[in-house]
């Protein structure tokens, strides 16, 4: 019926430009990353053409209808179950032959299908000429030439949807002898029965061979390759993937990134910190003294300030990661890393989700679905939480700023930046060590091969890059903000109340000794005793014996506990516990922590061994509760999730205890 919504499925190989086309057509800013297999879940949006509504669906990239990875399975199931749908197969014009194999399977399903030939401008620059009329005739489907990068041919593509028909003249349809069942049923049966290599029957192997021959025949008739001079970008690419120079360049880029995280963010961080101090002071003076004043200033403002101040560093890190993705350099890192990663039971494909773990472990664990080998995929999921996510960055920044003087440098490099880079490298090394241990217990059942299409190097698309920065920053603020607000309020109530007799006894003693007007120093002493007598103090005292061997007091124990909700909560918790609003000198959390002394020994609480121990704890311990949940979702194994949680926290405890006692 004309009134019914028609589904338009964007189908194709990884990195063919489907998501770019989706964004242009649907007007939705779905993130486009220049990495094969990025789109793991299907994404949909509504579009209207000539008063008819369509549901546009962007499916994960795949190489075949017979899935070898989780993302290919998502695509295959959606295609096989769809009704009233148009298939828009997006093909990379520079790799037409490899793309047409998957297309041939799609064309055999009996669905209205067309071919969107993307990147034709790039193909032309590489001396590739494609006779689209001849290609359309050979395939029996409509063929539209487009360039998603330049938004060329998109209107023609939109106006072609209503012309799409069932490809009954294509050379593949009915070419496959399937006895009494159709190709669609045959594919469904193969997926249900399992897709391991040892279950692939001879019929399917023969079909694949026949398809490859037919594709080669078509290509020979429609594609002409002319001699061309290599472009500068292609010469640069050879340098970037060179086994020696490529690694040197990669290390230089990583050094630049971590130097920038500290150096470029310093001024805006100071500005944000100053704003929160002034806002806290203004609110403190404007509201009547009492419980509500303390709740707003110490509970809410102090907690949020501890996280918002690190947004500039988060944005800078996201910017560089996005830049590496946009230009296609992330795939070069995978290529360079493959041989090295194989020693640990991984491959270059593991590097892509591991690199994503620098932003957040949750989507990165889901992105591991693109890894075909089960043992390698599980190993990758297991180690991703060891990569330094953006939530750890506020913790590292705070601790490193206490550990290393502000003006310290090594040659031309900022020492804080070098230490930060060292923490990221520590996370990577820890991940490899855990992968090596994992390899001893779970063996791969079959050899795996590193097959990864190398996307073209290209200039970054600034609009989607900056939109991604905005979206990720807002997600960080809203996600962390909600948790921080809840935790800060809970902490405020726990530190404001306790056994009434104990709390009142302390207040009465100070009032009897010093009167109603307490000096700032005496008031801080009273608040310290009240904090220890409060409910949060009592909870901390219960935790303290277990964490004392690591060098931590009960206040640090509270922060460690709350940060399991989200790592950045550590900073907000410390702000809430120590109450920055009480600091009339207007100094920040770092200065406040550096002033803390042990009430028994009188020595500083945050010594060199304690700071090193804390850095190691956050480098090794599992990230957060959300990470645990997504690991369980992806592995469907409570046992595996528990082993990961216990082993990482256990390793963190042992390493931190050894480091603290050795350095002390």
Task: With a cut of 90, say whether residue 261 has pLDDT above it.
Answer: no
Residue 48 bridge partners (DSSP): 53
Nearest to 418 by CA among 262, 311, 310, 611: 262
pLDDT band at 452 (very low <50, low <70, confident <90, very high): low
Quick one: tokens of 121? 């401008």
Phi, psi of 511 (to 5 degrees): -65, -40
pLDDT at residue number 403: 92
What Rg, from alpha-carbon coordinates, does the chain have?
A: 29
More confident residue, 493 or 116: 116
pLDDT at residue number 168: 56
Residue 537 has a CB neighbour count (10 Å cut-off) of 21
User: Does pTM surpass 0.85?
Assistant: no
- Provide the 3-class DSSP secondary structure of residue 78: helix
Q: Which whole number is the average pLDDT over 20-30?
A: 76
How does DSSP classify residue 178? -
CA 446/CA 341 separation, integer angstroms: 17
pLDDT band at 4 (very low <50, low <70, confident <90, very high): low
Per residue in 337-352, pLDDT tens?
Answer: 888 888 888 888 888 8
Task: With a cut of 60, say whether residue 31 has pLDDT above it.
Answer: no
Q: What is the dihedral of CA 494, 500, 505, 507, to 10 degrees?
A: 50
pLDDT at residue number 579: 60
Instruction: Let me know the angle formed at the C-alpha of 33 by 31 and 39, rounded to the nearest 5 degrees.
Output: 70
Per residue in 536-585, pLDDT tens?
Answer: 888 888 999 999 999 999 889 988 988 887 788 888 788 777 765 444 44
Burial of 254 from C-beta contacts in 10 A (0-12 / 13-18 / 19+) = middle
Task: With a cut of 50, say whether residue 406 has pLDDT above it.
Answer: yes
- Within 8 A by CB and 6+ apart from 325, the residues are 33, 34, 35
What average pLDDT does the chain have?
Answer: 82
**Structural domains for the chain:** 6-225 (3.40.50.300)
CA of 22: how far to CAs of 114, 326, 543, in Å? 16, 17, 52
- Within 8 A by CB and 6+ apart from 353, the residues are 364, 365, 367, 368, 370, 371, 380, 384
Per residue in 410-440, pLDDT tens?
Answer: 888 889 989 999 999 999 999 999 998 888 7
pLDDT band at 40 (very low <50, low <70, confident <90, very high): low
Residue 223 bridge partners (DSSP): 130
More confident residue, 481 or 174: 481
Quick one: tokens of 93? 């014009």
Residue 142 bridge partners (DSSP): 114
Task: Count how many residues are written for the chain.
Answer: 664
Pick from 8-17, 342-351, 467-476 the range whose average pLDDT is largest: 8-17
Phi, psi of 62 (to 5 degrees): -145, 160
Q: Which whole number is the average pLDDT over 329-339?
A: 86
């Amino acid at each position: 019926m004309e009134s019914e919504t028609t589904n338009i499925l964007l189908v194709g190989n990884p990195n063919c430009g489907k998501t770019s086309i989706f964004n242009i057509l649907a007007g939705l800013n779905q993130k486009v990353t220049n990495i094969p297999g990025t789109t793991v879940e299907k994404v949909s949006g509504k579009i209207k053409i000539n008063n008819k509504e369509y549901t546009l669906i962007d499916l994960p990239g795949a190489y075949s209808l017979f899935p070898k990875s989780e993302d290919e399975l998502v695509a295959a199931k959606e295609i096989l179950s769809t009704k009233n749908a148009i298939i828009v197969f997006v093909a990379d014009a520079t790799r037409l032959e490899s793309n047409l194999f998957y297309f041939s399977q799609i064309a055999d399903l009996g669905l209205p299908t067309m071919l969107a030939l993307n990147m034709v401008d790039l193909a032309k620059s590489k001396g590739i000429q494609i006779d689209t009329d001849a290609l359309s005739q050979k395939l029996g489907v409509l063929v539209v030439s487009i360039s998603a990068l330049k938004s060329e041919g998109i209107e023609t593509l939109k106006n072609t949807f209503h012309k799409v028909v069932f490809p009954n003249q294509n050379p593949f349809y009915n070419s496959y002898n399937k006895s009494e069942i159709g190709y669609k049923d045959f594919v469904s049966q193969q997926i249900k029965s399992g897709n391991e290599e040892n279950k692939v029957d001879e019929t399917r192997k023969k079909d694949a061979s026949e398809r490859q021959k037919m594709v080669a025949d078509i290509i020979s008739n429609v594609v002409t390759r002319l001699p061309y001079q290599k472009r500068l970008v292609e010469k640069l690419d050879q340098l970037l993937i060179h086994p020696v120079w490529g690694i040197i360049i990669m290390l230089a880029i990583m050094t630049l990134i971590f130097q920038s995280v500290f150096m470029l963010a310093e001024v805006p961080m100071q500005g944000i910190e100053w704003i929160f101090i002034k806002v806290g002071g203004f609110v403190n003076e404007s509201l009547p003294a009492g419980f509500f004043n303390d709740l707003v200033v110490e509970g809410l403002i102090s907690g949020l300030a501890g996280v918002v101040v690190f947004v500039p560093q988060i944005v800078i890190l996201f910017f560089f990661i996005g830049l590496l993705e946009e230009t296609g350099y992330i795939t070069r890192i995978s290529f360079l890393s493959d041989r090295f990663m194989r020693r640990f039971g991984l491959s270059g494909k593991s590097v892509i989700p591991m690199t994503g773990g620098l932003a957040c472990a949750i989507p990165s664990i889901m992105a591991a679905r693109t890894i075909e080998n089960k043992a390698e995929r599980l190993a990758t999921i297991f180690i991703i939480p060891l990569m330094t996510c953006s939530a750890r960055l506020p913790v590292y920044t705070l601790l490193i700023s206490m550990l290393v003087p502000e003006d310290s440098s090594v040659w031309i490099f900022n020492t804080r930046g070098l230490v930060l880079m060292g923490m990221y490298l520590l996370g990577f090394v820890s991940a490899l060590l855990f992968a090596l241990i994992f390899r001893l217990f779970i063996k791969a059942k079959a050899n795996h091969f590193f097959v990864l299409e190398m996307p073209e190097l290209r200039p970054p698309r600034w609009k989607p890059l900056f939109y991604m920065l905005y979206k990720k920053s807002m997600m960080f603020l809203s996600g962390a903000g909600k948790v921080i607000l809840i935790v800060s309020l809970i902490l405020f109530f726990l530190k404001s109340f306790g056994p009434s007799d104990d709390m009142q006894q302390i207040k009465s003693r100070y009032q009897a000794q010093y009167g109603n007007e307490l000096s700032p120093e005496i008031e801080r002493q009273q608040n310290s005793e009240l904090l220890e007598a409060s409910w949060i103090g009592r909870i901390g005292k219960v935790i303290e014996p277990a964490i004392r061997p690591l060098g931590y007091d009960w206040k640090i124990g509270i922060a460690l506990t709350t940060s399991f909700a989200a790592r950045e909560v550590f900073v907000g918790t410390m702000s809430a516990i120590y109450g920055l609003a009480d600091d009339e000198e207007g100094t920040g959390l770092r200065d406040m922590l550096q002033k803390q002394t042990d009430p028994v020994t009188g020595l500083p609480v945050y010594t060199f061994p304690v700071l090193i121990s804390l850095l190691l704890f956050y480098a090794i311990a599992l990230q957060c509760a959300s990470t645990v949940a997504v690991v369980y979702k992806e592995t469907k194994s409570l046992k595996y999730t528990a082993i990961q949680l216990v082993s990482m926290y256990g390793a963190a405890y042992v390493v931190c205890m050894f480091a603290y006692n050795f350095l002390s």
